[in-house]
Amino acid sequence: MASKRSPVETSRPEAQRNPRFFKTGYFAKQAGDAGITDDELCQAGGELEKGQGDALGGGVWKKRLDKNRHRSIVITKAGMFWIFVILFAKKDRGNISSKELAGFKKLAKYYSKTSAAQMDVLLAVGELKEICHESKSQEGH
């Protein structure tokens, strides 16, 4: 499928086969309040892998959810993992500010240096929640 935005490419093919998808505790609460399920987030993650989202630069993406009623900001580490960070209703605001984008880029830079073991620690302490792992989980959900 031709698109202005290309999918996230990595030099590690395993990253494309088994990316991990996470949400922050803050995002989990927002998604729960909006009725957005992990299945929907997992599907959205698969779409992001294919470049079906708005690349904002610096590892930051915007992805439409909930039949286009909500927007999410997602950060990535070279397609190895994707973290849903915030959610906002389209009716409440059109986009994030340039100052917010700069902050998300800093956060993406922080996560770009995070190892799989460090991600596991963030999971263990509850800072992150894993949504799904493996591309095949998006196909049948």
pLDDT tens over the chain, length 141 residues = 333 444 444 344 444 458 999 999 999 999 999 999 999 999 999 999 999 999 999 999 999 999 999 999 999 998 899 999 999 999 999 899 999 999 999 999 999 999 989 999 999 999 999 998 754 444 444
Among 64, 69, 83, 89, CA closest to 21: 83
* 37 domain-assigned: yes
43, part of any domain: yes
Residue 139 within any structural domain of the chain: no
The pLDDT assigned to 10 comes to: 38
57 located within any domain? yes
Burial letters 89-127, b for 16+ CB under 10 A, else e:
eeeeeeebeeeebeebbebbeebeeeeeeebeebeeeee
Q: Is residue 47 part of a domain?
A: yes
Nearest-angstrom CA–CA distance, 102 and 80: 22
Give residue 51's domain range.
16-130
- Domain-embedded: residue 38: yes
The answer to whether residue 141 is domain-embedded is no
Q: For position 75, what pLDDT does the model report?
A: 97
Strand order through the sheet with 70-77 = 54-57, 60-65, 70-77, 81-89, 20-24, 128-133
pLDDT of residue 135: 44
* 3 state DSSP class of 47: helix
Q: What is the pLDDT of residue 102?
A: 98
In whole angstroms, what is the distance from residue 25 CA to residue 29 CA?
6
Q: Is residue 140 part of a domain?
A: no
The dihedral sign for the CA sequence 10, 116, 36, 56: negative
> How many domains does the chain contain in total?
1
**pLDDT for position 108:** 97
